[in-house]
Amino acid sequence: MSAKIVGRVWKFGDDINTDLIIAGKYKLSITNIDELAKHAMEALIPNFAERVKRGDIIVAGRNFGCGSSREQAPLVLKHIGIGAVIAESFARIFYRNAINIGLPAIECRDTSRILDGDILEVNLLEGYVKNLTRNEIYSIKPIPPALLEILASGGLVNYVKKYGRLPW
Amino acid sequence: MGKTVAEKILSLASGKDAYAGDIVIARVDAAMAHDGTALLAIEAFNEMGGRSLWDPSKVVLVIDHVAPSATESFSKVHKAMREFACIHGANLYDAGSGICHQLMVESGLVYPGALVVGADSHTCTYGALGAFATGIGSTEMAAVFMSGKLWFRVPETLLVEVSGSLPPMILPKDVILKVVGMVGADGATYKAVEFCGPTVKAMSIDGRLTLCNMAVEMGAKTGIIEADKKVIDYLTSLGVKYGIELRSDEDAEFSGKISLDVSDLEPQVACPHSVDNVRPVSEVEGIEVNQVFLGSCTNGRLEDLRVAAEILRGKSVKRGVRMIVAPASRSIYLQALKEGLIEVFVRAGCIVCNPGCGPCAGAHQGILAPNEVCLSTSNRNFKGRMGSVDAEIYLASPATAAATALEGKITDPRRLLKS
Ligand code: SF4
């Protein structure tokens, strides 16, 4: 993770559940992440995985990632190149999983002001999202320092590799 | 200031005087992963250089989601789990044992005051025994395997008070569907939902497990019910000694309270494609179904099987409808055999599967084709959950499920009372 993420917005609504992000039938039948990631978000946007460019940003409403605890949900998003997910609120297991695998999950009240195709600049350390298309700045809910460190290392596994110990 | 059950347990487990909003590092009393989540945890454990489990007797691996395996890739997952359990001495429940959450409840590792994590969102089920139990991800599960510890945000508690006696054919599942409909899919996000009131007190452990199971469908971190004598008696019957009564203090702070009187409650049905899209059965009666599923960690317990068998006894499932029954654990299966329930199901034309998740996770044993309709006693009706994204899933109680299977269309089970 770099401190600044710049990318195009893919806009989604409320209650995007983990079955929509990656359907259970794939999670349970495909264990290869390259293959699995091809199906990311496909129930909502056909060929989403192919159309996403590295650094693109998912913006959504309330309760993003609700439903099953599958870690494959944030994993496939990270794998296809999503640089960050910004939502009004997250389901808690998705939030934990995203941080643990190094995908920034950012809570922001103003996601309704952000539209599909906008270009955003996210600064995690300074704690803001800048909408370059609309020239607006939104504040974000700060990520606790301990979790920022996990994110900065690229997830929990990389953290342990880097520091030789768990964060707790 | 007084504490909620959630605050008490997380205080105990972290050694801190913890209240809602605090972030604590706590030691866990048991950790579980299943064949949908264990492989990632095992891989992360190895990648992080994990050498041994913090306490093998408290680590549980369950093969239940696709059990027995339906594909070669799943067979590899199962193999990796068996090898990991063997190398590290963890508890393994192999295919056919049952659903992870029911097995945890029966294992003796869940008791009042325990802090339990599972790599599955329905881990919240165990709150029915007065434990604080919550779902976590696979990578952090690997960290738990290594250290026995994890960070938690102490949740606020939403109180759900249920009063009134349940009318005939109205089951705990109808109560929780009603509550989910009232609170909404994200109405309790990050919170603990504590169920209380005379109706909950009067419920059996089976019924209480059904309530807590669906707490996560409101976004909750866990469901909780105070541990009373019934819980202690249940644990004693399992040979568990850790039974203590545990309840929230009178002066504990709750983030909100919802009250529900169930005296006139109708059977409830969650309609496609979200769990909080709940309507009384009268509004959906007559919708034709292709498949009915009785089972899952929500409603695959003995009481559920008994209610359904009573309705199906001596009758036949409607021609053209598949009714699939999967007991939640081997011990439930055995007891159902003893009571003759399995024979009732088979004679009625049901397909009785081995204990496990069955078709709930959409990987085997009853996958839906496009435009098919299923009425299920499980807990999620998301698009694509049980097969085709063009299939529809309705959620209801075991009584509504059995009545629906007989008629081939969504049916109010109270109709069968009158005839
Ligand atoms: S029965 Fe269904 S909801 Fe319960 S653990 Fe299995 S797949 Fe998950």
Q: Rounded distance, CA A111 to CA A108, Å?
A: 6
pLDDT tens digits for B133-167? Answer: 999 999 999 999 999 999 999 999 999 999 999 99
CATH number of the domain that A35 lies in? Answer: 3.20.19.10
The domain B5-259: what is its CATH number? Answer: 3.30.499.10
Across the A/B interface, how many CB contacts are shorter than 8 Å?
135
How far is the C-alpha of B380 from the C-alpha of A105, rounded, in Å?
24
3-class DSSP state of B124: helix
Q: Mean pLDDT in each 10-residue stretch from start to end of chain A (168 residues)?
A: 86 95 81 91 94 97 91 96 96 93 95 98 93 97 88 94 92
In this structure, the strands spanning B23-27 and B149-153 are antiparallel
Whether pLDDT at B217 is above 70: yes
Instruction: State in Å: Cα B403 to ligand 1 middle.
Output: 23
Query: Which runs of consecutive H residues, i.e. helices, occur in B108-171?
Result: 138-147
DSSP string spanning A53-89? Answer: -TT-EEEE-SSBTBS---THHHHHHHHTT--EEEES-
Higher pLDDT, B244 or A136: A136
What's the longest Cα–Cα distance across chain B? Answer: 65
Domain count, chain A: 1
Q: Give the chain B residue whose CA is nearest to the CA of A66.
A: B219
> Are B219 and A63 within 8 A, CB to CB?
yes
- CA B297 – ligand 1 centroid, Å: 6
Are the beta carbons of B361 and A91 separated by less than 8 Å?
Answer: no
Statement: residue B417 has pLDDT above 70: yes
For ligand 1, the distance from its centroid to the CA atom of residue B393, given in whole angstroms, is 15
**Between A28, A67, A157, which is nearest B363 by CB?**
A28
- Is the minimum CB–CB distance between B77 and chain A shorter than 8 Å? yes
Cβ within 8 Å of residue A47, ≥6 positions away: none
CA dihedral B7, B13, B15, B21 (to 10 degrees): -40
Residues sharing a CB contact under 8 Å with residue B213, sequence separation 6 or more, in sequence order: B101, B122, B124, B125, B176, B223, B297, B298, B379
In a domain, A168, yes or no: no
Closest CA to B292 of B345, B226, B250: B345
Q: Which residues of A touch B140 (CB under 8 A)?
A: 96-97, 100, 156
Number of residues that make up chain A: 168
Q: Which residues pair with B153 in a beta bridge?
A: B23
Amino acid at B98: G
Contact with chain B for residue A162, Cβ under 8 A? no
Reported confidence tier of residue B243, pLDDT bands at 50, 70, 90 = confident
With a cut of 60, say whether residue B419 has pLDDT above it. no
Given this model, what pLDDT does residue B355 score?
A: 98
- Please give the span between the terminal C-alpha atoms of chain B, in angstroms, as a whole number: 56
Please provide the average confidence, as pLDDT, over all residues in chain A: 93
A164 CB neighbour count, 10 Å cutoff: 9
| CA B310 – CA B269 distance, rounded (Å) | 21
Find where tokens 């030789």 sit.
A164
CATH 3.30.499.10 domain residues, chain B: 5-259, 269-412
What are the pLDDT digits (tens) for B303-332? 999 999 999 999 999 999 999 999 999 999
Distance CA B42, CA B143 (A): 10
Q: Which of B73, B147, B389 sits opposite A166 (nearest CB)?
A: B147
Cβ contact A156–B48 (<8 Å): yes
Tell me the average pLDDT across B376-401.
Answer: 96
Q: How confident is the model at residue B418 (pLDDT cuts 50, 70, 90)?
A: low
Tokens of B237: 């019957």
**Pocket of ligand 1 from Cβ distances under 6 Å:** B 65, 99-101, 120, 122, 296-297, 357, 360-361, 378-379
Contact A89 B363 (CB under 8 A): no
Q: Report CA torsion sign: B118, B122, B124, B127.
A: negative
Give the model's pLDDT for residue A81: 97
Q: CA nearest B296: which of B135, B117, B98, B36?
A: B98
Q: How far is B238 from chain A (nearest CA, A)?
A: 29
- Residue B174 has a pLDDT of 98
Are B137 and B147 within 8 A, CB to CB? no
Q: What is the identity of the amino acid at B182?
A: M
Is A89:A59 a contact under the CB 8 Å cutoff? no
**Domain extent for A147:** 4-163
Q: pLDDT tens-digit profile of B13-71?
A: 999 999 998 989 999 999 999 999 999 999 999 999 999 999 999 999 999 999 999 99
Q: Name the closest residue on chain A to residue B64, using Cα atoms.
A: A28
pLDDT at B187 over 60: yes
pLDDT at A1: 57
Q: Omega before B88 cis (within 30°)?
A: no
What distance in angstroms lies between residue B360's CA and the mean position of ligand 1's atoms?
A: 6
Cβ(B298)–Cβ(B105) below 8 Å? no
Which architecture does CATH list for B269-412? 2-Layer Sandwich (3.30)
Q: Which atom of ligand 1 is nearest to the CA of B360?
A: 2
Question: CA nearest B59: which of B36, B78, B35, B85?
Answer: B85
